[in-house]
Amino acid sequence: MNRFRELLREARKRAGLTQWILGEKVGVADSYISRMETGAFPPPSREVTLRLADALGLKKKSRRRLVFLLAAGVASEEDMEGLKLVGVEDGQALGEEEQANSTPIPGIVHDAKPIPEALFGTPGEYIDSLIASTRLTDEEDKMVASVAVDTVKRLLLFIETQRKMRKEG
């Protein structure tokens, strides 16, 4: 299932735009919009996705825009800046209930959850042996680990956001 195509179509209709008008605003062909909405084309580049979000009226620093960018696979730290994820008063984090009431993106801030090896279809030792066989420098090894952790965090964030979206209807 391609969530981006659904979000694109919903946002376009909510904005009252035809595929042709949206294409004109973004600088792409209406056939390109059509193919993204049907899932024939994957989500576009970050640059095009940002122009789509602007043309669709998805306000910067809004939950809806963040979900749109996540579904396209182009969200970045920059997109999260300015979103109130954790409430702080006088240097102290708010209590769990207060934070839940003040956080615009529920469930986005949580402890990282381990991913069972069964989900990967390959045991961790095999992955470690693949990494070891590349003879990476210590710096490259740290970079690979950092990218892997970041990718898993983004994937978990995306899954959690999708679950919340489904619950909200």
Q: Which of 80, 109, 125 is the last residue of a domain?
A: 80
Contact assessment for residue 157 and residue 109, using Cβ atoms and an 8 Å cutoff: no
Q: Measuring CA to CA, how many Å separate 17 from each of 12, 32, 53, 72, 161?
A: 5, 15, 13, 20, 26
> Within a domain: residue 109?
no
Q: Are 28 and 47 in contact (CB under 8 A)?
A: no
How far apart are alpha carbons 27 and 48 in whole angstroms?
9
- The pLDDT-based confidence of 12 (bands split at 50, 70, 90) is very high
CATH classification at residue 47: 1.10.260.40
Per-residue pLDDT tens over the stretch 40-92: 989 999 999 999 999 999 988 888 888 898 888 888 888 877 665 544 444 45
Better-scored residue on pLDDT, 3 or 108: 3
CB 8 within 8 A of CB 39: no
d(Cα 5, Cα 120) in Å, to the nearest integer? 26
pLDDT of residue 151: 75
Counted domains in the chain: 2
Q: What is the pLDDT of residue 124?
A: 55
- Report the C-alpha gap between 151 and 73 in whole angstroms: 11
Residue that wins the pLDDT comparison between 156 and 30: 30
Range of the domain at 40: 3-80
Are 71 and 121 members of one domain?
A: no
**CA-to-CA distance for 94 and 71, rounded, in angstroms?**
30
Backbone angles phi, psi at 89, to 5 degrees: -125, 130
User: pLDDT by residue (tens digit) across 84-140?
Assistant: 554 444 445 444 444 444 444 443 443 444 545 554 555 555 566 666 667 777 777
